[in-house]
Amino acid sequence: MKRGSRPARRYNPRMARRTPSPFVMALALMTALPLTGCVKRTLLIESDPPGALVYLNDQEVGRTPVTVPFTWYGTYDVRLEKDGYRTLHTEQALEQPWWEHPGPDLFAEAIPDKRVERNWFFKLSEATPADAVDPDVLLEHARQMRELNLRDEE
């Protein structure tokens, strides 16, 4: 052996680097994934004419154009009201993107700061004199309802 040289190291199985088992790697990945990403979901509601009062599931959210955050997909009950225009009452569906379905969502969570932006546009029609409620008809309906209510109490 030459002076100043080191002796050759022998292979020692205890000192060899081990690759973590697939179970340990999957556990580490699943633990780290929820810490990485965040999904920001927004819904932009616009109307023609602008300035209509918007209700989502009977909860007032503002006047158009309005951007509201949402947390779940599905069908929403939408109502738009504006003076001089017919009230628009409809159901609107928010479709879930493919990457938020069970399975792909596990990996999609690793993408930081994801955004889901949906847009809805509604056209309001002008109110006509035929849309106005006749006060006599309204009073007659109220009387009928009162009679039904009194009969139910007896």
What whole-number distance in Å separates Cα of residue 32 and Cα of residue 27?
9
70 in Cβ contact with 44 (< 8 Å):
no
From first to last of its 154 residues, the chain has per-residue pLDDT tens of: 566 666 666 666 665 566 667 777 777 666 665 555 567 889 999 999 999 999 999 999 999 999 999 888 889 999 999 988 999 999 999 888 776 667 776 666 666 667 778 999 999 988 776 666 777 877 888 888 888 888 877 6
Q: Say which residue the tokens 């006509």 belong to.
A: 128
10-49 in b/e burial notation, b at 16+ Cβ within 10 A?
Answer: eeeeeeeeeeeeeeeeeeeeeeeeeeeeebebebebbbee
Supply the DSSP symbol for 57: T
Q: What is the pTM of this model?
A: 0.58
Domain ranges (residues) in the chain: 24-153
Which residues have C-beta within 8 Å of that of residue 100, sequence separation ≥ 6?
39, 73, 108, 116
CATH code at 24-153: 2.60.40
